Amino acid sequence: MIITRSKALEKEVELERLIAKISGSQNGPTLVFFAGIHGNETAGIYALTHALKNFSKTDLKGTIYAIAGNLNALSKNKRYIEQDLNRMWTQEELDTLISKEKLNSEEKEQLEIYKLLQDIKDTHSGPIYFIDFHTTSSKTLPFITINDALINRKFSQLFPVPVVLGIEEFLKGPLLSYINQLGYVSLGFESGQHDELDAVLNCESFIYLSLVYTQAMDKEKLLDFDMHYNQLRKQSDIISDIFEVSYLYRIKPDENFKMKPGFKSFQIISKGTLLAESNSQAVLSAYNARIFMPLYQKQGSDGFFIIKSIPPIFLKISELLRKYNLDNLLVFLPGISWFNKDQGILSVNLKVTRFLAKQIFHLFGFRSQQLDKSKILLYNRERVSKFDLYKREAWFKK
């Protein structure tokens, strides 16, 4: 058990790995909430601690889990101790972790969470939803991040906040990318700036809406549903577009990087805007777009992202392409073959297919991982999605 403190609430709470587990009086979905995967992001911890204590078995259907992430880092209010816990969830690292004898601080945390995840996955056969709460070092609207699978898109669009997809193409080893590869609905909710009260309130509202949208709770049993919906709608400036990550500025080891002050997520920027300094050299925007998650903290290697909105027509086209498995046609093009068809992984020869824009592959649901200078592997979340778990859900049919 550890003690963590919220600067926003000026409160402390004693914390164990399992913040709460509530089994409802009827069968229903399984909701798994994570908070504190980064130890300086406590908003989700306090929202879960407060919100879930108000419910009894008779209020709920199914099972609700609330899981604390990096306990050691939470006790010290640090993003991580030795290694970023949200960059460690590759299959290769997990295979090594299970057989490893000496573990660092984050590996110990990861092993406990991994075993808990396995237990949840093996115990529950109905629809399972994974939601990971985060906050940012910069000012931001609340928003959702997802891996680009249709089950994630459909569920995320129920919430009145912007959705950002494609971040998995730029980050290696996030927890939710691992869970999404298992085929489950999984989304991240960034509720606001680290130590702001609104970040806690936004998480609470998101918890309540999640319970209703998954039918873990009847809407009639939740007081002030409209208040929680409008809390998120107002905080997001009524922006509910879907955006795509198009660029990440990665900070190199020993680089002296410093963001210019005043930027906030979703702020519109122009090409040539001075964004940061790197080793006393100017870092200018190469895009007319929006800046996303600029770094205003000491730990972390993601300097800033650039995002652009996706026109609705392209979202519709991509949905149709995936619905009818038209990605099968791609292998008739030169330089493209199945690396693993069951897992939806293409092998692409860059020399032969460089005339194909990345956006073409995105339409079919493929996101890339560099293999070497001549080949990349493209991963399609649709082929591993557990559609059968969700196809009867009310939100899926919309």
pLDDT tens digits, one per residue of 212-243: 999 999 998 888 999 999 999 999 998 889 99
**Could you tell me the two tokens for 8?**
């926003």
Per-domain residue ranges for the chain? 2-240, 243-309, 321-381
Q: Are 328 and 368 in contact (CB under 8 A)?
A: no
For range 50-76, the mean pLDDT: 92
For range 154-179, the mean pLDDT: 94
Task: Look at residue 104 in the predicted model and tell me its pLDDT.
Answer: 96
**Could you tell me the two tokens for 353?**
């297919």
User: 313-355 pLDDT, tens per residue?
Assistant: 999 999 999 989 999 999 999 899 999 998 889 999 887 777 6
* pLDDT of 192 higher than 90: yes
CA dihedral 249, 251, 252, 254 (to 10 degrees): 160
Bridge partners (DSSP) listed for residue 378 = 346, 368
* pLDDT of 365 higher than 70: yes
Of 265-269, 318-322, 366-370, give the lowest mean pLDDT range: 366-370
Q: Are 239 and 143 in contact (CB under 8 A)?
A: no
Max intra-chain CA distance, the chain: 61
Task: Look at residue 95 in the predicted model and tell me its pLDDT.
Answer: 93
Cα 250 from Cα 90, distance rounded (Å): 19
370 falls in which pLDDT band (50, 70, 90)? low
Overall pTM surpassing 0.85 (yes/no): yes
Q: Which fold has domain 243-309?
A: OB fold (Dihydrolipoamide Acetyltransferase, E2P) (2.40.50)
Altogether, the residues listed in the chain come to a count of: 398
Task: Look at residue 313 in the predicted model and tell me its pLDDT.
Answer: 95
Of 48-52, 159-163, 199-203, give the lowest mean pLDDT range: 48-52
Q: Which residues of 337-376 are buried (b: 16+ CB within 10 A; e: fewer)?
A: eebeeeebbbbbebeebeeeeeeebbbbbbbbeeeeeeeb
* pLDDT of 397 higher than 90: no
CA dihedral 77, 79, 84, 86 (to 10 degrees): 100
* pLDDT of 368 higher than 90: no
* pLDDT of 8 higher than 90: no
* pLDDT of 301 higher than 70: yes
Q: Coil, strand or helix: which one is 134?
A: strand
CA atoms within 13 A on the CB side of 92: 3
Q: Which fold has domain 2-240?
A: Aminopeptidase (3.40.630)
* pLDDT of 130 higher than 90: yes
174 falls in which pLDDT band (50, 70, 90)? very high
* pLDDT of 381 higher than 90: no
276 falls in which pLDDT band (50, 70, 90)? very high
**Could you tell me the two tokens for 223?**
């007081």
Q: Coil, strand or helix: which one is 82?
A: coil
* pLDDT of 57 higher than 90: no
Of 43-52, 55-64, 242-251, 279-288, give the lowest mean pLDDT range: 55-64
Of 56-60, 71-75, 78-82, 239-243, give the lowest mean pLDDT range: 56-60
Task: Look at residue 356 in the predicted model and tell me its pLDDT.
Answer: 72
Q: Are 65 and 121 in contact (CB under 8 A)?
A: no
* pLDDT of 369 higher than 80: no
Task: Provide the CA 83 distance to its chain's centre, in angstroms.
Answer: 19
Residue pointed to by tokens 């690292």: 93
